[in-house]
Amino acid sequence: MHQLTTPREEQPLLTAVASMRDAALLAEVVELRAKNEQLEQALASRAVIDQARGMVMALAPCSSKRAWDLLVDVSQHCNVKLRDVAAALVTTTQDEPLPEQIQRELRRALRRLHSTDRQ
């Protein structure tokens, strides 16, 4: 049997292998923490988006799907994240004004929604 390393050479090699495993484990932990943070933010955003969806359903009136599409439409036309559009709409219940750009696009989206209903 042919030996590639001597006992003296084995310790640094084992240390290097252990360090690589530690580095890989650390990278995995960092990645999992980032994903966990993203999921927590998504859950928090989802609640606000669902509240805004309910508000649109009450205002329009329309189905949940159409309310979602309307919010997405406003978000895209304003170039504002959906969660931010939803949060702005929900804060109007606390006497906060809706930002002008979102207000304008919301009106347009509601008009488009009503015009398709009439056809």
Whether residue 1 lies inside any domain: the answer is no
The reply to whether 24 falls in a domain is yes
Q: 6 versus 53: which is more confidently predicted? A: 53
For 87, the domain range is: 7-118
Instruction: Residue 98: name the closest of 5, 82, 106 by CA.
Output: 106
Are residues 82 and 75 in contact, defined by beta-carbon separation less than 8 angstroms? yes
Q: Is residue 110 part of a domain?
A: yes
67 lies in a domain? yes
Instruction: Determine if residue 61 is left, alpha or beta; phi over 0 gives left, psi from -120 to 50 gives alpha, anything else beta.
Output: beta
pLDDT at 4 over 60: no
Q: Does any domain span residue 2?
A: no
| Average pLDDT of the residues in 100-107 | 96
Q: Tell me the angle at which helices 100-118 and 64-78 cross, rounded to the nearest 10 degrees.
A: 140
Query: Domain tally for the chain?
Result: 1
Report the share of the chain in percent with pLDDT over 70: 85
Is the pLDDT higher at 25 or at 55?
A: 55
Residue 90 domain flag: yes
